[in-house]
């Protein structure tokens, strides 16, 4: 355990019959850090979060928080703040009462005046001071999740646990709220574990993102590193889009689309491999003697997505800045080449 490690999940295992929800998961989180766990449904990310909250018993493993072993501590005594995927405000309480609820239960009683001040402060932090006396049914989904966040933060939690809190919201509210969560987390310096299946969400607000698969951590890294330097084909293919293009591998390089680029560690080292090429790693230029034809072009605002058919029949997707894609439409003959970026190469077949 390094000196900055605040939360430590050690070799966690949880089996539901034959299903391995957690299968030797280990993870360290530094104080004040926001770590996102990302992965497909059933990969064990929520089980890991619930185990840390004390809501899920483990078959094996150890949970350390601030140097203390909390593995067998009950959920009510762990001091974790949690925001759930489902709306979880207590329906018979107003927003303020919801926020004050955790403070009322503290072992060292918080005076009524202090509770009021704390709830006012947190409602202000989430921008809902004017809704303090509203009941949950009078609030929108986004507002309910903001109050739930304020409620979780009111108890000054050791760790803030966010279990897909934005997934029930519409796209616009989701974007606003995730930025707000990040702002508040940075402002308060609360150590946070955020579980999501939405990679955009994870990449945009986390300090580090852990990609999970079959109860294990495939890779944990800063968002840019995870995207640019995946260590496994699963991570490369799960995070962002990739074009599988075959090429010859030798000496730590691969020859693809007429270019030779370096391969990332973990890639196959010889023979024929499949390079996983990001759509934005492709350079597309209109050219009458090009090696591909544009099948369809989609305008996405700042960028433009091109579905391209190579002369050998391979179908790929490229993403360019809209300004660079001007004049390239469906049916255009183009020349496709690779930008000089290292690629992850998986074994063919």
Partner 1 sequence: MKQRMGVKIWRWSIITVVGFYLLVPLYAMFDFSTKPYGFEDSGRTLRAWKVIGTQEALFEAVTRSLITALIVMAIILFLVVPTAIWVQLKLPLLRRPFELLCLIPLAIPAIVIVVGIAPLYRWISINLSESPITLAGVYSMLILPYTYRSLSAALDAVDIHTLAEAATTLGASISRVIFGIIMPTIKTGIINGSFIAIALVLGEFTISNILNFKTFQVVIAQIGRTDGQVAVAVSVASLLFVLVLLLLIPNKKRQGAVLDVDIA
Interface contacts to partner 1, rule CB under 8 A:
53-55, 75-82, 84, 86-88, 90-92, 101-102, 105-106, 135-137, 140-144, 148, 151-152, 155, 161, 168-170, 173
* Euclidean distance between CA atoms 82 and 141, whole angstroms: 17
> Which CB atom, from 181 or from 209, has the smaller least distance to partner 1?
181
∠ at Cα 172 (168, 177), nearest 5°? 70
Q: Which is nearer to partner 1, 60 or 106 (CB)?
A: 106
Q: HSE-up of 301 (CA within 13 Å, CB side)?
A: 0
Tell me the three state secondary structure of residue 35. strand
C-beta of 44 vs 79, nearer to partner 1: 79
Our CB check for partner 1 shows the closer of 131 and 278 to be 131
Classify residue 328 as left (phi > 0), alpha (psi -120 to 50) or beta. Answer: beta
Select from 69, 71, 67, 98 the least CA-distant residue to 14: 71
Of the candidates 212, 106, 95, which has an alpha carbon nearest to the alpha carbon of residue 146?
95
Least distance to partner 1, CB of residue 14, Å? 17
Nearest-5° Cα angle at 16, 15 to 18: 80
- Residue 212 half-sphere exposure toward CB, CA atoms < 13 A: 33
Nearer to partner 1, 76 or 289 (CB): 76
Q: How many CB atoms lie within 10 A of CB 155?
A: 18
Q: How far is the CB of 305 from partner 1 (least distance, A)?
A: 28
Please, what is the minimum distance in Å from the beta carbon of residue 11 to partner 1? Answer: 24
Asked if 161 and 193 count as a contact pair (C-beta separation under 8 A), the reply is: yes
Smallest distance, Å, CB 234 to partner 1?
A: 31
By beta-carbon proximity to partner 1, the closer residue of 7 and 169 is: 169
Distance, CA of 94 to CA of 134 (rounded, Å): 5
Q: In this complex, which beta carbon is closest to partner 1, that of residue 18 or of residue 92?
A: 92
Please report how close the Cβ of residue 102 comes to partner 1 at its closest, in angstroms. Answer: 4
Write down the least CB distance from residue 143 to partner 1, Å. Answer: 7
CB 170, min distance to partner 1, A: 5
């Amino acid at each position: 355990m390094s000196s900055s490690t605040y939360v430590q999940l050690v070799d966690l295992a949880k089996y539901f019959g034959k299903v391995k929800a957690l299968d030797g998961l280990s993870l360290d989180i530094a104080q004040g850090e926001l770590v996102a766990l990302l992965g497909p449904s059933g990969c064990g990310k929520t089980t890991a979060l619930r185990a840390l909250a004390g809501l899920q018993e483990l078959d094996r493993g150890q949970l350390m928080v601030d140097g203390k072993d909390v593995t067998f501590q009950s959920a009510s005594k762990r001091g974790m703040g949690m925001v759930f995927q489902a709306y979880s405000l207590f329906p018979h309480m107003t927003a303020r009462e919801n926020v004050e609820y955790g403070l009322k239960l503290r072992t060292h009683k918080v005076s009524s005046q202090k509770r009021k001040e704390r709830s006012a402060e947190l409602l202000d932090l989430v921008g809902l001071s004017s809704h303090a006396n509203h009941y949950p049914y009078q609030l929108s989904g986004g507002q309910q999740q903001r109050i739930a966040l304020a409620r979780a933060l009111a108890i000054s939690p050791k760790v803030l646990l966010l279990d897909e809190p934005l997934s029930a919201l519409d796209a616009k509210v989701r974007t606003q709220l995730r930025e707000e969560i990040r702002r508040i987390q940075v402002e308060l310096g609360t150590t946070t574990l955020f579980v999501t299946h939405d990679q955009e969400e994870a990449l945009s607000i986390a300090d580090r993102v852990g990609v999970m698969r079959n109860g294990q951590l495939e890779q944990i890294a800063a968002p840019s590193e995870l995207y640019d330097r995946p260590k496994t084909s699963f991570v490369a293919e799960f995070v962002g889009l990739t074009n599988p293009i075959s090429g010859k591998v030798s000496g730590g390089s691969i020859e693809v689309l007429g270019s030779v680029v370096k391969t990332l560690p973990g890639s196959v080292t010889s023979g024929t491999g499949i390079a996983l090429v990001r759509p934005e790693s492709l350079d597309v230029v209109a050219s009458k003697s090009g090696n591909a034809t544009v099948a369809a072009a989609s305008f996405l605002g700042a960028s433009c997505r091109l579905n391209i058919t190579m002369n050998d029949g391979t179908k790929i997707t490229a993403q360019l800045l809209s300004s660079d894609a001007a004049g390239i439409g469906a049916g255009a003959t183009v020349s496709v080449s690779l930008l000089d970026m290292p690629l992850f190469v998986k074994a063919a077949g």
